[in-house]
Amino acid sequence: MATAAEIIAAQGDLTREQMIPLLQEIQEAEGFVSREAMGRLAEALETPVSRVYGVATFYNQFRFAPLGEHVIELCRGTACHVKQSLTLAQHLKRRLKLRDDGNSADGRFTVISVACLGACSIAPVIRLDGEFYGHLTVERLDALLDEVEAGAEAAA
């Protein structure tokens, strides 16, 4: 995979209109958009880093830290909200010791709140490593996390 510097260099003359597609390409290649990548892009676009950062933080598609080994997408849509997904979010934050970037302290988990996963009939729902798990309670979520953690220990 190309680095941010290589992606930017391959573009030739850049315009500010290319900022979002370049941010997307950098994230695709590196897994997230680093401060260094934003600095390089700002320099190449001859614009302040604050402008690149402002654009990147405006859109929730961009991540600023690498993803953990396991990615949990927590639905916060209306159906899930009504069925207490906030309680699940708070529990995940405590149990996994999530930092502000959504990553667990040990870097094994990333929790991303999403507007809707499109699985309202099984609310509240999460997608863990691409698989859907619905009708969740704190207890069922704990059992699922225990299973994931036990699987990791067995593989080690």
pTM recorded for the entire structure: 0.78
Residue 51 covered by a domain: yes
Residue given tokens 């916060």 in the structure block: 76
Distance of CA 58 to the CA centre of its chain: 14
Residue 87 maps to which CATH number? 3.40.30.10
Q: Is residue 63 part of a domain?
A: no
End residue of a domain, out of 58, 79, 98: 58
In Å, how far are 19, 32, 33, 46, 129 from 37, measured between CA atoms?
A: 12, 9, 6, 14, 27
Q: What is the pLDDT along the chain (156 residues), one digit of tens a residue?
A: 788 889 998 988 888 899 999 999 999 999 999 999 999 999 999 999 999 999 999 988 899 999 999 999 999 999 999 999 999 999 999 999 999 999 999 999 999 999 999 999 999 999 999 999 999 999 999 999 999 999 866 665
E strand or H helix at 70, and its extent?
Answer: strand 70-75
Judgement on whether residues 36 and 97 belong to the same structural domain of the protein: no
**φ, ψ dihedrals at 107, nearest 5°:** 75, 5
Number of domains in the chain: 2
Residue 18: domain span = 4-58
| Residue 65 belongs to some domain of the structure | no
